[in-house]
Amino acid sequence: MKKTTLICTLLAVLVFCMACSKELEYSCDPKINEWVAQNKDAYAEISRTQLATFDIEKQQGLFRSFAPKQRSRIFHEKYDYLMGLDDLSAQEKEQLAKLYQLVTPEIYTTEINKKAFNEFAAVWVEETKQLLGWGDTEIFLYTHTWLTLEEVKKRIETLKTSTKFRTDDDPPHGDVPNCMCYYSVYCIFSAKGFECVDGNCNVVDGCGVVGTSNCTGLCD
């Protein structure tokens, strides 16, 4: 129970959503967006471990700048890390392998490929929850972020102060906010509520399993 609560708390500040106004290609923060634009070529082939050394906002911006081959490589390096964990059983690793064997550059290239992968991932998630007893938090930890739990813990204090969900006092770009969540685990630190409610926001990419789903809701 303590482990689940800790994971839930830590991961909530590592929201994989990268919602931005359309004019900001890599980050909602104009300064970070400019930094990524200036440095993306130099970091186009960095490892997952190297990516994890940057501030979380820069990590998200860089990932958004990566080519499909590099995006899939980052998550395969996360998979290699998961396969080395003693905390995961052989059954859990086998179930993860079913998903990660389909993580290829192609799933990041076209809407048709993305849709096909997302349909498989949706079935996989439900099957995994029933088979292994995982909740949304475990699904998020093992499939929604490239960071390890140790890397999350290392950054938690700075992330609590630097990562901020939008509230009524913190208006998004434009009249309609960009979506910020995929399911309710994203909303633990939201000042507006803990449930992810679909609609009333601009759908953007960057949420879901290995970042292939759209962010579709707001915390309420």
Helix orientation angle between 68-83 and 90-100, rounded to the nearest 10 degrees: 170
More confident of the two residues 199 and 108: 108
93 belongs to a structural domain: no
Helix (H, G, I), strand (E, B) or coil at 41: coil
Flag whether 75 is in a domain: no
The tally of domains found in the chain comes to 1
Residue 50: inside a domain:
no
Percent of the chain with pLDDT over 90: 41
Residue whose C-alpha is closest to residue 71's, from 100, 115, 105: 105
3-state secondary structure of 96: helix
Q: Are strands 204-207 and 196-198 parallel, antiparallel or unpaired?
A: unpaired
pLDDT, tens only, 138-184: 888 899 889 888 887 776 555 455 444 333 334 444 456 667 677 66
* Model confidence at 187: pLDDT above 70: no
Residue 170 lies in a domain: yes
Residues found in the chain: 220
pTM recorded for the entire structure = 0.75
Q: Per-residue pLDDT averaged across 101-127, rounded?
A: 94
Whether 14 shows a pLDDT value over 60: the answer reads no
Query: pLDDT category, 197, cuts 50, 70, 90?
Result: confident
Instruction: Tell me the C-alpha distance between 100 and 120, whole Å.
Output: 11
Please report whether residue 201 resides in a domain: yes
Distance from the Cα of residue 92 to its chain's centroid: 20
What is the domain range of residue 199? 165-220
Q: Judge whether 41 lies within some domain.
A: no
Question: Predicted confidence band at 128 (pLDDT cuts at 50, 70, 90)?
Answer: very high
Is residue 191 within 8 A of residue 201, CB to CB? The reply is: no
